[in-house]
Structure 1
Amino acid sequence: MNQIKGNLALDMSAAKPKKLYFWGQIRRNKWLYGMLAPGVLYFLLFKYAPMWGLLMAFKDYQPYLGFFGSKWVGMKHFERLFHDPAFWMLLRNTLVLAGYNIIFFFPAPILLSLMINEVRREKFKRAVQTVIYVPHFVSWVVVVGIAYTFFTIDGGLVNEAFMAMGGNKINFLASTDWFRTMITLEVIWKETGWGTIIFLAALAGVDPQLYEAAKMDGAGRLRQLWHVTLPTIRSTIIILFILRLGTFLDTGFEQIFLMLNPINREVGEVFDTYVYTAGITQGQFSFSTAVGLFKSVVGFVLVIGSNWFAKKIGEEGVY
């Protein structure tokens, strides 16, 4: 018994210096922690606190009964989702658009960063960077408005050019064949420049001596790019790819909603627009929450799986 008391006393005495050390670090770096506080508060309020509302997916939520007064229904809304005839259409459209973004959009910032990195004139490089960042700050309403101006069949610049060259007009905005292509091109135009920030930062950290050694071995610009540049930013690419998979089913609501019309809805309706229709316009709060939770679970599984695979092939991964 005395030995147990002695061990407890030792553990408490060891914990006390650790506690003092912890608060000493807080006081010593109070300004740094103060700068960190708004970001932590943002995530607590807008990311973690709303997760309590996920319970709504397992309830038959009625506004007049309140959150706690609504009846538990278990997996009812998920069963309805998976048996809904529209589910497979939504899944197909979402997966196709997400696949387009992975195949065509994700490599675009990498390629653009590599091209900018090869520019030797600093003033020109900075001017290019400034110009390509601008579309990111343009709202989707403006982007879609520009797309309508260019591609409309009534006086659109692209169709007028086709007519001037002896071709026929193409109804891009009401075509099921062109909808996904236009969505992807809009994303590339708007977000590629902004996506280069992280890759350019990674490229700035490449040791110049590696390039000098490659030149001494007779490597040209392309070989330097393949054997020096890409391997040094490979870990950054993999981490961003893993994070991208976490939002794989988030194809974006605003852009697609603005581009949808009764003709292209068959290929354009995705989970994000479906959640808006069911939850906001029809008041099916519990069902739309179940759809959102399904998307989150798929993203979580993809992140875990891709991170595991990255570690298997010798990369660091996200965690």
Structure 2
Amino acid sequence: MSKAKTKKSKEVQIKDPLLHHVKKEWKLYTFLIIPILYYIIFKYVPVIGNIIAFRRYKGGPNILGEDWVGLRYFKQFLTDSNFWRAFWNTLRLSIGYLLVRFPATLIFALLINEVKNKMWKKTVQTVSYLPHFISLVVVCGMVKELLSSTGPINALLVKLGVEKIAFMSEPGWFDIVYIGSGIWQALGWGTILYLTAMTNINTELYEAAAIDGAGKFKQAIHVTIPGILPTIMTLLIMDIGNIITASNMQKILLLYNPLTQSRADIIDTLVYRMGIAGGNFSYASAVGLFSAVIGLVLVTTSNYLSKKFTETSLW
């Protein structure tokens, strides 16, 4: 009888190993309660509010709107020139930033990985990480001061015999200011995952490549990059999915002005201006829902292509 009982208990454990593990490590699983509640309250419950994209909402006790209007607000913003200006500005800024930041971060991580002096390596990493911890308000204030007409950069240009440049008021300079300041702030922090992945590469592969006559450049191309390819593709998929929905609205609000609005106005600032500032919540919700759907399509497509060509995917 005892043997039969033990067999039955083993079968139950095998059939439901997750439940058995939860019972065994329940104290550790209690740490998940707060994160789960956070996502439920602040991520999933607000999804219900998307219903006002299809209803007329003017504020008041009825938080889900007064009347059903269907696709009225979607048709409204799709024929709005301000929306399409913001849409193309979002694509231009996000893709431009991605095309510069993504390879720059990877190259910087490869360079740091080649530094053998531990003291120097830690110093470079610390200095490159510091801008990430500076408040965005402070960063934008520094950018404005450095690039102002009386700032040090224009003072240097005058000494070199070059006319002053209105960096903060000429629309053509906004992309460079936005992307350049973003690279300075995020470059070092973005190397953390790459450097962590590089520590898992078998050192014998480098030794074999060196015996075959491969220099540092070829070792990076044929050993390091293939070794961290899953990490590269995972980050790239997430970045592509966030092209529409993850523009830095706070930074743009702090940097742009009426003179640069034609180049700086993005979907998020349009939603903020129409929804929070203008009180047109239904219109803003429709725009936000539309951009979220595009983000879902982008991340799904990039995940499919990555899985097909590199056998690496998020799911």
Please tell me the TM-score bracket, short chain as reference.
over 0.9
Q: CA deviation at 1:67?
A: 2.1
Structure 2 CA distance for aligned equivalents of residues 18 and 61 of structure 1: 52
2:49 counterpart of 1:42: no
- Per-residue CA deviations over 1:33-57 (Å, capped at 9, x if unaligned) read 1233332222222211211111111
Q: Which amino acid aligns with 1:166?
A: G
Query: Residues 210 and 17 of structure 1: is their aligned pair in 2 closer, same or farther, counting only changes over 3 Å?
Result: closer
Counterpart of 1:179, as a letter, is F
- Asked if 1 retains the 8 angstrom alpha-carbon contact of 2:58 and 2:280, the reply is no
1:210 CA displacement: 0.3
Once the two structures are TM-superposed, the CA of residue 235 in structure 1 deviates from its matched residue by: 1.4
Of the structure 1 ranges 15-24 and 113-122, higher mean CA displacement relative to structure 2 is found in: 15-24
Q: 1:280 aligns with which of 272, 276, 288?
A: 276
Alignment partner of 1:295 is 2:291: yes
Give me the whole-angstrom Cα distance separating, in 2, the residues matched to 1:170 and 1:224: 43
Q: Deviations over 1:82-102 (max 9, x none)?
A: 011212211111111011112
CA distance in 1, matches of 2:27, 2:283: 45
Between the two proteins, the alignment pairs up a number of residues equal to 306
Task: Assess if the C-alpha contact under 8 Å between 2:55 and 2:64 holds in 1.
Answer: no
**Paired residue for 2:81, among 85, 91, 108?**
85
Of residues 54-63 and 157-166 in structure 1, the stretch that sits farther from structure 2 once superposed is 54-63
Pick one of 237, 259, 264 that aligns with 1:263.
259
Alignment-derived partner of residue 9 in structure 1? none
**Alpha-carbon shift at residue 275 of structure 1 (Å):** 0.8
Equivalences for 1:49-60 in 2 at 5 Å?
Answer: 49-60=45-56
Residue number among 222, 227, 234 corresponding to 2:229 in the alignment = 234
Distance in 2 between residues matched to 1:22 and 1:86, nearest whole Å? 51
1: CA distance between counterparts of 2:93 and 2:155?
28
SS of the residue aligned with 2:243?
Answer: coil
Give a deviation string over 1:111-164, Cα, whole Å, max 9, x none. 1111100000112211221221111111221111101111101x2000000111
Aligned residue number for residue 71 of structure 1: 67
Where structure 1 has 5 or more consecutive residues not aligned to the other structure, the ranges are 1-12
Task: Tell me what 1:197 maps to.
Answer: 192
Task: Find out whether 1:208 has 2:238 as its counterpart.
Answer: no
Going from structure 1 to structure 2, the CA distance change for 1:271 and 1:307 (only over 3 Å counts) comes to same
Inter-partner Cα distance in structure 2 for 1:56 and 1:18: 47
Partner AA of 1:283 in structure 2: G
Normalised by the length of structure 1, the TM-score is 0.91
How many angstroms does 1:19 deviate by? 7.8
Instruction: Write the distance in 2 (CA, Å) between the matches of 1:256 and 1:279.
Output: 17
2:213 matched to 1:218? yes
> Any idea what the Cα deviations from partners look like across 1:149-186, whole Å, max 9, x if unmatched?
11101x20000001111111000000111101100011
Letter in 1 for 2:35: G
Shift of 1:201: 0.5
In 1, the alpha carbon distance for the partners of 2:178 and 2:310 equals 35
**Counterpart amino acid of residue 285 in structure 2:** T
Q: Which amino acid aligns with 1:135?
A: P
Deviates more, 1:157-166 or 1:25-34: 25-34
2:58 paired residue number: 62
User: How many angstroms does 1:23 deviate by?
Assistant: 3.6
Structure 1 residues 227 and 286, CA, compared in 2 at 3 Å: closer, same or farther? same
1:163 and 2:158 equivalent?
Answer: yes
Helix, strand or coil at the partner of 1:251: coil
CA RMSD of aligned residues (A): 1.9
Distance, in Å, in 2 between the alignment partners of 1:93 and 1:20 is 51
Q: Gaps (5+ residues) in structure 2?
A: 1-8
- For the pair 1:244 / 2:239, whether they are aligned, the reply is yes
TM-score of the pair, normalised by structure 2: 0.92
- Compared CA separation, residues 222 and 79, structure 1 to 2 (3 A): same
Identity %: 37
User: Could you tell me which residue of structure 2 aligns to residue 181 of structure 1?
Assistant: 176
